[in-house]
Chains A and B, each alone.
Chain A
Amino acid sequence: MKLPKLLQAVLVVVAVYIAFKLVFSVGLQQPIPSSLLTMYMFFVVVATLLVTTATEESAKEMSGPIKALVEDPSKKTIRNIVFVLVPLLAGWMTYSNLRPSFEAPVELRTIHPAPPGSMKAFGKSYDLAKLENPFRKYQKEDPEKFKALVKEGGAVYYKNCHYCHGDKLDGQGQYAQGFNPLPLNFQDIGTIAQLQESFLFWRIATGGPGLPKEATPWLSAMPVWKDFLTEDEIWKVILFLYDYTGQAPRSWAAH
């Protein structure tokens, strides 16, 4: 038996929604945030409507039951039911969205705010557009020395950073759950792998208070490490971050 077009369309949309929920919330244990799911479903509905109205025949099949519902005198009862249900549904959705709750409002936070053009630390000024890790060159020139520097960076990391960023650099340190947002996961392909080393130097050296105004409220508990570490220690820990995660810093060397 061939299902009516309109019912097919509704079933497709419902099936996609359930699939999103099942796969991400149940299967992968990583639910799709409601803001994103709303966007996804909006375009799934739009695309379903486009497909079902692409040909004249299909469009007539789609609109037939809706027309009949509105115009056919024999469907008076179901029409009245639908005409009561639709405003009630709209009212319920509006109420759900506006109902006060104890949940903090959703806010859009800039995780990677742009660095300034230059910064001051250790009694001098750095031009972040040109700043490079002074130890990076040893990766090719003297691999043994590089290895030793990475090791020193690792020591700095485990003395100072792993409490929050985790011993596997995955943002799951002992104190991580005490922060909101959680400390950054360096294993994520979208974090340090996207950035130049100068960005990391700025971010580590100046910490949360060094973030620019565009990142406010910056909600970063990152200490100002220039007060606790030396310049070389910061560069070494940067070497360690990339080495441990198997990532390479962003550079334009291949261009």
Chain B
Amino acid sequence: MATFMSMRFTSCKLCGHPVRRGIVNVSKLSKRYKATKLKQADTLVWEPVIGLEIHAQIAANAKLFSGASSQYGGAVNTQVSFLDSALPGTLPVLNKRCVEAGVTTAIALGCTINKVSRFDRKHYFYADLPAGYQITQQNHALANNGEFKYFVYGKYETDCVEKSARILQLQLEQDSGKSLHDDIAGRSLIDLNRAGCALMEIVTAPDFHTGSDAKSFVRDIKMLLVTLGTCDGKMSEGSMRVDANISVHKPGQPLGVRSEVKNLNSLTSVKKAIDYEIERQISVLENGGEVINETRSFDVDTGETLPMRDKELKQDYRFMPEPNLPPLRLYYTTDKSPSGTQQRVYVDILEKEIPMLPRDKRNYLIEKYGLNSYRANFIVNALAVELFDDLVKGKNIKSFSDFLMHQFLNLISQRDLTVAESNVMSSDIDKLYEWYQHRELSLENIQKIVTGLIEKQGASAREIAETLDLWQINDEKYLTDLCKQIIEENPKHVAKYKRGKKRALDRLIGQAKQKSNGKADLSTVNDILIKMMKTGAE
């Protein structure tokens, strides 16, 4: 039985991909894989080059330069200070917490921290930018020259590879407000709650070559920020937004003209927008056209990138130093300058306070449990290290990590949730594993229960199993009858199987699953069917 179970899992070692239910047809997949490879070979003459700008909202109670709340979801225009609405005479006052968050993040990204950085004004007219300029750091940023290692998952767990991207700059800046366009009444409405919230802009070198690279980078850096507590990482709430600079060129030739796709607010959008843009640019160039240096937006519904309106085209931002803020100085406790220590930010103190980073946690899982880097990264990204540590005790590591990955972590990561956010109790996971081990629930139905736990909060695993009538049927008589019926109803597949087409068996098992509403113990069904078809007992 054990061999069978592991065979089932072999066929679904394909993570990082969209929802995959039921039995996966390996041969079909590999065909698709070959097709992609072929397509890649066609376009191999073009090399895409991608750089990212990640705007991460700093987790802080107040905005970067004002005392107004920076909480998400407040009633429209209720979190707006005089400064945020740019009332004449107001002045920015730097929020120390935001500086600390920036420094902490920069340290974790291995950046050089600049002891003196400066703020600049970047000018453009837009209704949700009340001052007519954004305060940012252009030429003298908080930190420069870091590096971040991330994992790119492949088709199989063993394809998982570690890559590295250079961080050019980490700067502090203000967010803008939100414009809401009322097309029917032909007017725009402005919500300034977000105006002035603190952002860390993390600028990478053009070190990516595919949408998948970029997506993986964003996924892992998001986890880093969440671990540090410097950003909540909630992309759906706009806490992290990505701009991608994309160009294509032929290796050995100068870099191509780039376009910038703005405001990508999910991991999927990062990948899709970049891949679309690469293909679009290649097609433009192959057809003798030219790529224009422009700003584009990504349409989530169509999966296309579109040029933004004229006024948002590249413009001269007329940068100027912000005259109302003195240079931002950072200190080390060893610095000699005794007076006025209260408002100072000490780099070395922040460095000591940095918690265990994702990369440390990953190494811990790899070293302690022998997990592969894919699984280690996946568990870390779901914030499931503690859960794994707790539950794996006394269990077979391989079997339990298989179970945890596929029956739980995949499901929550598809929903962009961490363990804590999923509201699933670790005791429920423990119970489900036990029931699974005792063949009381099928994998199929375990997923239904986990889905239920995530979606119907408050119900226990047992309640859901009872309500939906999901307990596995191991009764030999019932299963034998079921198999008999299936063999009778599918003479074609039986014949195929007998001719040696082993894949036909999967179809028959699929029937058993369907007919029993997922409750039949499929491993027993597998054995019975083979036995029946071997003996010819029809």
B partners with A:
no
